Amino acid sequence: MPRARNTAPKLAGIDGLRGVAALAVLVYHVQRGLNPSSRDNVFFHDLTYLSHGVTLFFVLSGFLLYRPFAGALLGRMPHPYLRRYFVSRFLRIFPAYLVVLWATSIALRTAFLPRNNNGAAQQTGALSWPDLLLASTLAQGATPRSIRSGLEVAWTLGVELSFYILLPAAVWLAAIIGRRCRGRLTTALIPPCLFLALGLTGKLWLQITQMGLTGSERVNLEWGANWGAVAARSILIHADLFAYGMLAALALHLAHAHAPRFFDRPMIRVSLQAIVLAVTAGLVIGLITGPFTSSVVAIAAAALLLLTATASGQSRLYGITNAPILRWCGIVSFSVYLWHLPVIRWLHNRGWVFPDTYWGLLTNIALILSLTLLLAAATYYAIEAPALRMKDRHRDTRWPRHA
């Protein structure tokens, strides 16, 4: 039986979107941590929505990782080797993560410390050796005491790790079901639908549990040292965000197979642009709120992803997302994501930041961005790039290089 050929469509602008996501989260945390009063200003208030850079990261992961599996379920690509898949995922996360975690705890002493009771203030310092080893496995999010300890942003890596593990299981289940339904498209829809159902059910549970709570009680439920926060910072709540990226990957496969120029049609592109603009406007004017906000934003992120991945070389969007500086920021985006909060905490603890003013916000962004990019570049070229080269040695040509 002849092998299916790797006929996945060529992608554009993926690194640029990664750069956008990383820079958005950095700016959000600078404002939140160093210049909170700027949120009262009409020009800077909307920077709070840049926290959805995390949502864009999840959508990108769903898109990139499901893409080869979707091609296999559709019969257009061979099935990826699971050993290579898991080795690739390990090398993508752990080398850089461990370096930044240990440097943050031992050298900078700005790691987030565990909290022994709910409502306790989050302290920073050097983790104990047991807590440092626990955080090194990304298992700190499994208990109320240790949740968010180590690197604060590592809770999202725990969600990513859960997705990495569950994705092949969902594909395996879809393949079994597909033997009975005998429909390739139906089979390929099963994994994203499973993640969609899991995430939306989790968000519905979160909404029900928040009924009757005050604003501070809702924040504590999602971010405190309690089992509600453990659930809220897990794949149980965020699974659907990956699903929208998975559906985008499936849409690209179908378009490439049956209508190669489908996403070049003006009506399709205008419709996708309208989704992005409508969601952005809904956020700004306050129409989109509550636990399902990230789901709506993820739909817009998936639309933006499709627009970017299919943009022509002459379009303005292609020029922006493929600009050299933004692409480079995307290449080092993982290290930017890991380093920016330790840098913020370290400078803040020493008083080496600018005042909580509007000009202070802009100068703090420039300061944090400069130092973070320097550290991110060092980490990428010394740690990430060698690890990625190891990953490529175990990769055959059928695995997309963006993943």
In this predicted model, what pLDDT tens digit does every residue of 190-221 receive, in sequence order? Answer: 999 999 999 999 999 999 998 888 888 888 88
Where on the phi/psi map is residue 138: left (φ > 0), alpha (ψ -120 to 50), or beta?
left
Tell me the average pLDDT across 23-31.
97
The pLDDT assigned to 10 comes to 54
The pLDDT assigned to 391 comes to 73
Backbone φ, ψ for residue 125 (5° rounding): 165, -150
The pLDDT assigned to 397 comes to 43
C-beta of residue 209 within 8 angstroms of C-beta of residue 197: no
pTM: 0.93
Please tell me whether residue 150 adopts helix, strand or coil conformation. strand
Tell me the average pLDDT across 16-33.
96
pLDDT at position 92 over 80: yes
In this predicted model, what pLDDT tens digit does every residue of 36-82 receive, in sequence order? Answer: 999 888 888 889 999 999 999 999 999 999 999 999 999 888 888 89
The pLDDT assigned to 254 comes to 93
C-beta of residue 222 within 8 angstroms of C-beta of residue 203: no
Predicted confidence band at 395 (pLDDT cuts at 50, 70, 90)?
A: low
> Tokens 């440097």 belong to which residue?
103
Among candidates 275, 260, 259, 278, which has minimal Cα distance to 307?
A: 275
pLDDT at position 9 over 80: no
Following DSSP, what letter does each residue of 113-133 receive, concatenated? PP-SSTTPPP-EEPPPHHHHH
Distance CA 300, CA 296 (A): 7
> Residue 111 gets which letter from DSSP?
E
In this predicted model, what pLDDT tens digit does every residue of 288-343 receive, in sequence order? Answer: 888 899 999 999 999 999 999 999 888 899 999 999 999 999 999 999 999 999 99
Distance CA 279, CA 291 (A): 15
For 288, the enclosing helix (H) or strand (E) is: none
Tell me the average pLDDT across 246-263.
91
Distance CA 126, CA 124 (A): 7
Distance CA 234, CA 344 (A): 25
Among candidates 150, 120, 121, which has minimal Cα distance to 135?
A: 150
pLDDT at position 185 over 60: yes
> Tokens 């920016």 belong to which residue?
340
Tell me the average pLDDT across 119-124.
82
The pLDDT assigned to 321 comes to 93
> Tokens 């440092």 belong to which residue?
132
Question: Sign of the CA dihedral 192, 89, 162, 378?
Answer: negative
CB burial of 363-390 (b: ≥16 within 10 Å; e: otherwise) equals ebbebbbebbbebbeebbeebbeebbee
The pLDDT assigned to 5 comes to 44
The pLDDT assigned to 323 comes to 94
| 13-22, 115-124, 171-180, 207-216: range with highest mean pLDDT | 13-22
For 270, the enclosing helix (H) or strand (E) is: helix 266-284
Chain centroid offset of residue 4 CA: 31
Predicted confidence band at 393 (pLDDT cuts at 50, 70, 90)?
A: low
In this predicted model, what pLDDT tens digit does every residue of 130-150 receive, in sequence order? Answer: 999 999 999 999 999 999 999
In this structure, the number of other CB atoms found within 10 A of the CB of residue 182 comes to 8
pLDDT at position 258 over 90: no
Following DSSP, what letter does each residue of 189-238 receive, concatenated? HHHHHHHHHHHHHHHHHHHHHTTT--HHHHHHHHHSSSHHHHHHTSHHHH
pLDDT at position 122 over 50: yes
The pLDDT assigned to 392 comes to 64
Among candidates 340, 298, 354, 399, which has minimal Cα distance to 27?
A: 340
Predicted confidence band at 161 (pLDDT cuts at 50, 70, 90)?
A: very high
Average pLDDT, the chain: 91
Residue 321 CB contacts under 8 Å (≥ 6 apart), including other chains? 12, 13, 16, 17, 20, 308, 311, 327
pLDDT at position 378 over 80: yes
Distance CA 308, CA 14 (A): 7
Chain centroid offset of residue 119 CA: 27
Residue 300 CB contacts under 8 Å (≥ 6 apart), including other chains? 275, 276, 278, 279, 280
Backbone φ, ψ for residue 137 (5° rounding): -95, 0
| C-alpha triplet 147, 242, 136: angle, nearest 5° | 30
For 2, the enclosing helix (H) or strand (E) is: none
